[in-house]
Amino acid sequence: MESAADVSSPPRDGQSFRRRLIGFIAIGEVGVLAAMALLIVFFWLLEPAFLSERNIRAILNVVSFVGIIAIGQTILLVAGEFDLSVGSVAGLSAVVAAKLMTAAALPVTVAILGGIGVGAAIGLLNGVIVVRLGIPAFIQTLGMLFIGQGLIQVVTGGYPVYPLPEAINAIGGADLAFGLGWSFAFFIVATVVADFVLRRTVLGRNIYATGGNQEVARLVGINTSAYKIGAFIVVGALAAIAGMFVMADLGSGGTSIGSGWELTVIAGVVVGGVSLFGGAGTVAGGVVGILMLKVVQSGLVVIGVNSNWQQIAVGVIMVMAVGLDIVRRRYFIAGA
Amino acid sequence: MPNAAQEPLLSAAAIAKSFGGVQALRGVDFDVVPGEIHALLGQNGAGKSTLVKILNGVHPAGSYTGVIKLDGRPVSFASPADARSNGVGYVPQEIEVLEQLSVAENVFAGHTGLGDGFMVHQRRLQQRAGEIFADLGIGIDPRAYVASLTSAQRHLVMIARAIVMRPRVLMLDEPTASLSGTEVDALFSVLRRLKTQGVAMIYITHRLPEVLAICDRATVLRDGQVAVRIAREDFDAETFIFSMSGQRLQRLFPEHAAPVGAPTALEVRNLTVAGHSGAVHGAKDINLSVAAGEIVGLAGLLGSGRSEILHGIYGRVPAEGKIRVAGDPVAIGSPKDARAAGISLLTEDRKRDGLLFNLPVGANITIGNLAPLARRGVVRGGLERSSILAAMRALNVKASSPLASVTHLSGGNQQKLLFARVLMRAPKVLLLDEPTKGVDAATRHEIYRLVVELAEKGVALLIVASELEELIGLCDRCLVLADGRVVDEFGRGEGGEDRVLRSVAAAQAERHVRASQVSP
């Protein structure tokens, strides 16, 4: 609504302007939310147990782990790169932290910081190699996926690290509200913070510019290399944190933590309207996309669909979501 | 001279077309006869591109109303390929080449089998491409990879690609946009040769001197209608400008006098920038200075190092040399350093290194300028909006709102948007690379006025433009470049386009003499 009154009241006007600006970037969220609501109703009608407290809790718990990584992956995708090594990094950071607090007998806090350090260091390495050496992110992070998997075996010798100190089990077993623990709390706080940073801050706008056209961003004085490397570090650190939350949840440093997550995360955020080509999408959208994927997976389990078909459904949904997004954008451009 | 009574080869009658409620063409009649070069003129948004896209099958039959006739028979093209096979060729404005393939393969792209089967006959392709180039007087090795060509050479490859099909009607959309003087001459001789072969050509351009030089007839579009048709006998630049804009533009360039005794704003000493891809010269040992409020132009052919000087000063490419801004030495290693020193650059290619298509109009203006609009790193929405609206008003950027997509803006509005971006920081030194490229005549004049206004406010301007008339009309002083060196310098009123061309030719002749003396 454009009117003279709007211009005379700058604060409200500023808010609505910001909202519409966000609308331009985040045209995908509402559609994904609507689709998800439909799916929830669909699964609930077929099987009311889908909306049981236990099932909702289970979905939210799983989303909190993968969602933490999705936050970082969204930021990195908006900056114009992506990371396939997040699953390996999550697993490696978890087993390194587990080894530090058991075999090395370091205090739990130090061991956790060590785990985060491993994730951040791998992110830095990925970022520097992609940005400075110009090796495509696809190759570099795919390589890092294998390296990470190998290192997990090297660190653990193939056996899960068990038992872990009591403090870790306490983190994993905590019940803050509705049976959800620290991982969910961290996931919510990180989502809110990251979403705010991308939407509202100069930093966030510069990330959109970097992902939209790196050369333009450089010409307007943005240090695009630093932004990209920074985004890689954030992804690595968040993957490490997610991995350690899973470790706490399981009560052991398992060697399969994070295995296969990289594709789930990318599929989820893409469903949520984050562009694979950079410069478009929001953290809220990416997180909603992950939630929708998990709703579908869980719903298919609850209504008793064969697990092979669940995978097929995930694939179909991802392609459809991107297809719809492309159609909508085309309409948006043609109809404007 | 084509006979006016001749039967039209291609004709269009009562063509109308709308895009989502916006009427782009409202009943246009147009025709072209064999051996004629027919200029299609009009401002951006007048409907030229839409008309050409209809004639060429990009907008397929059924998406518009009206009748197209080829040889007097109604035709309906379903696609550009369909139009091509009916003898209607098209050379788009944007360069669309396959960089990883050779020149010959590009020329024959889509039919590299040459009609007999599955295999690509490299040698035959190269031979045939060589024959076509020789015929057209194009000096490019058919075996070279397109990635190594300059943009002008790439354009010639695209023209060759259209000619290979032996079209009877050839449409050229702004074919000289990336060409310099001698290359334009080469293109014109190609077009004259095609004309003698009876090809009917439709020539879209913003450059009136080219219409005067080569075209036989002109149709001017305005607001989706034919404003006027002009025969060659009645050609006159003023008439064109008048009919395109609907108002008579009295003087082409606003008045400006070089400031007397103003302090030096930009001083460049021994600037050296590396060249690239063989055909583009870097800058060698350039010395220049621009006073506050002075407009200085860099004249020269494409690839003479003009843009490289701007890029070197701005830190876009690595450069050696000393730069002082308002007397203070500054070390510029990146665009960020240059901006901190008060230097801004408007780049030549809006699509490639100007606009951010993922952000709306408003955010495109404020990007890079957000620091004063933010508190502790958080952008203040109200302040951002009001400064965007002020900038859009000041530069007359016509967009429905700050949240409109930049994709829909006309070339002129996109360019004004980018001006708003670079001016938001109130630069002391402004570097402009082809500031009027691909914009309509009215916007062009707005930009001229803006340049003069900025100079009067004390901004030092350094401008690169391919159109010499524009550069000489606008600038207080011109430096002429050849092969990366300054070969001549003259003030306002001390020379015209001929002086630039003579200086360049003299420098090239001298280099030729020196080269032949060195080699025995």
Q: Is B436 an 8 Å CB contact of chain A?
A: no
CA distance A335 to A330: 8
Q: Does domain B254-342+427-520 have CATH number 3.30.70.1450?
A: no
Query: What is this structure's pTM?
Result: 0.76
Task: Output phi, psi for B377, to 5 deg.
Answer: 80, -5
CA B243 distance to own-chain centroid: 22
Q: Residue B381: its chain A contacts at CB < 8 A?
A: 14-15, 17-18, 21
Q: How far is B119 from chain A (nearest CA, A)?
A: 33
Query: Which single residue is written with the structure tokens 């495509």?
Result: A136
B356 near A CB under 8 A: yes
Q: Which of A10, A14, A336 lies nearest to residue B405, judging by beta carbons?
A: A336
Tens-digit pLDDT profile for residues A209-264: 999 999 999 999 999 999 999 999 999 999 999 999 999 999 888 889 988 899 88
Given the DSSP bridges, would you call strands B343-346 and B460-464 parallel, antiparallel or unpaired? unpaired
Contact at CB, B403 and A21, closer than 8 angstroms: yes
Q: What are phi and psi of B145, to 5 degrees?
A: -80, 140
pLDDT for B247 equals 47
Q: What is the mean pLDDT of chain A?
A: 86
Using the beta-carbon criterion (under 8 Å), do B408 and A333 form an inter-chain contact? yes
Q: How far is CA B435 from CA A9, A38, A213, B380, B470, in A?
A: 37, 52, 21, 31, 10
pLDDT tens for B218-271 read 998 887 888 889 888 888 777 776 777 654 444 468 888 888 888 999 999 999
Q: Do A205 and B367 touch (CB under 8 A)?
A: yes
Are the C-beta atoms of residues A224 and A218 closer than 8 Å to each other? yes
- Rounded Cα distance between B306 and B319, Å, is 14
- Comparing A61 with A5, which gets the higher pLDDT? A61
B chain contacts of residue A212, beta-carbon cutoff 8 Å = 356-359
- Would you list the domain boundaries of chain A? 27-335
Where does chain B hold its CATH 3.40.50.300 domain(s)? 1-87+200-250, 254-342+427-520
- Angle at the Cα of A330 from the Cα atoms of B395 and A323, rounded to 5 degrees: 145
CA distance B102 to B114: 16
Phi-psi region of B120 (alpha: psi -120 to 50; beta: other; left: phi over 0): beta
Long-range own/partner contacts, residues B18-23 (CB < 8 A, 24 or more apart): B19/A334, B20/A334, B20/A335, B23/B224
* HEC readout, A227-286: HHHHHHHHHHHHHHHHHHHHHHHHCCECCCCCCCHHHHHHHHHHHCCCCCCCCCCCHHHH
Residue A277 confidence (pLDDT) above 90: no
The three-class DSSP label of residue A200 is: helix
Most B-contacting residue of A1, A17, A195, A199 (CB-CB within 10 A), to test interface: A17
Give A215's contacts in chain B (Cβ within 8 Å). Answer: 352-353
> Per residue in A142-182, pLDDT tens?
999 999 999 999 999 989 988 888 888 888 888 888 878 89
Nearest of A104, A87, A107, A84 to residue A96 by alpha carbon: A104
pLDDT at position B389, please?
A: 94
Does B367 contact chain A (CB < 8 Å)? yes
* pLDDT value, residue A8: 34
Nearest to A21 among B334, B363, B408 (CB): B363
Shortest Cα distance from B208 to chain A (angstroms)?
32
Residue at B78: amino acid letter: A
For CA atoms B412, A208, A283, A11, the dihedral sign is: negative
Look up residue B278 and give its two tokens.
């063989």
- Residue length of chain B: 520
Alpha-carbon Rg for chain B in angstroms:
24
Which residues 6+ apart lie within 8 Å of B51 measured at CB? B12, B15, B25, B28, B30, B40, B221
All residue ranges of chain B with pLDDT < 70 are 1-5, 20-22, 43-45, 111-120, 177-178, 180-181, 241, 245-252, 276-281, 302-303, 508, 511-520
Residues 6+ apart with CB under 8 A from B245: B43, B441, B442
Does the structure show a pLDDT above 70 at A7?
no
Tell me: the pLDDT tens digits for A70-119?
Answer: 999 999 999 999 999 999 999 999 999 999 999 888 999 999 999 999 99
Q: What would you report as the CA-atom Rg of chain A, rounded to the nearest whole angstrom?
A: 21
User: Contact at 8 Å (CB) between B329 and B323?
Assistant: yes
Identify which of A13, A220, A334 has the shortest CB distance to residue B382: A13
- A16 band by pLDDT with thresholds 50, 70 and 90: low
Residue B18 forms contact with A (CB below 8 Å): no
Contacts with B445 (C-beta within 8 Å, 6 or more apart), sequence order: B249, B252
* Test the A interface: residue of B385, B387, B392, B421 with most A CBs within 10 Å: B385
CA-to-CA distance for B196 and B1, rounded, in angstroms?
10
Q: Do B385 and A333 touch (CB under 8 A)?
A: no
What confidence score (pLDDT) does residue B437 get?
A: 82
Dist. CA B185–CA B212, nearest whole Å: 14
> Is the CB of residue B318 less than 8 Å away from at least one CB of chain A?
no
Q: Over 80: is that where the pLDDT of A331 sits?
A: no
- Give me the residue label for tokens 């994993």: A172
Q: Measure the CA–CA gap between B299 and B301, rounded to whole angstroms.
A: 7
- Owner of token pair 């491409």: B129
| Structure tokens belonging to residue B384 | 């951002």
Among B336, B353, B363, the residue with its CB nearest the CB of A221 is B336
Which residues pair with residue A201 across a beta bridge? B378
Name which of B24, B123, B9, B13 is nearest B72 in CA terms.
B9
Helix, coil or strand: residue A216: helix
Residue B63 sits at the chain A interface (C-beta within 8 Å):
no
For A240-271, b/e burial (b = at least 16 CB within 10 A) is bbbbbbbbbbbebbbbebbeebbebbbbbbbb
The shortest CB-CB distance from B353 to any of A13, A215, A279 is to A215
Whole-angstrom Cα distance, residue A146 to residue A126? 13
Contact status of B355 with chain A (Cβ, < 8 Å): yes
Whole-number pLDDT of residue B398? 85
Q: Using the beta-carbon criterion (under 8 Å), do B381 and A21 form an inter-chain contact?
A: yes
Say yes or no for a CB contact (<8 Å) between A211 and B368. no
As a CATH number, domain B1-87+200-250 is 3.40.50.300
- Which chain B residue's Cα is nearest to A218? B335
B363 contacts in A (CB within 8 Å)? Answer: 21, 205, 208
Name the pLDDT band for A17 (thresholds 50, 70, 90). Answer: low
**Range A53-60 contact pairs with CB under 8 angstroms and sequence separation of 24 or more:** A53/A178, A53/A179, A55/A298, A55/A302, A57/A178, A57/A179, A57/A180, A58/A298, A59/A291, A59/A294, A59/A295, A59/A298, A60/A180, A60/A184
Per-residue pLDDT, B41: 86
CB neighbours of residue A319 within 10 Å: 13
Residues in chain A with CB shorter than 8 Å from the CB of B356 are 208-209, 212-213, 216-217, 279
Selecting from B358, B401, B405 the residue whose C-beta is nearest the C-beta of A279 gives B358
Domain A27-335 CATH class label = mainly alpha
| B146, B152, B156, B157 alpha-carbon torsion, rounded to 10° | 10
Within a 10 A sphere around the Cβ of B411, how many other Cβ atoms? 19
Chain A residue with CA closest to B355: the answer is: A216
Distance of CA B324 to the CA centre of its chain: 31
Choose the closest CB to A203 out of B367, B377, B381: B377
Kindly indicate the confidence band of residue A2, based on its pLDDT and cuts at 50, 70 and 90. very low
Instruction: Determine the pLDDT at residue B162.
Output: 86
pLDDT of residue B329: 94
Spell out which residues of chain B touch residue A13, defining contact as CB-CB under 8 Å. Answer: 382, 385
Asked if the bond preceding A163 is cis, omega within 30° of 0, the reply is yes
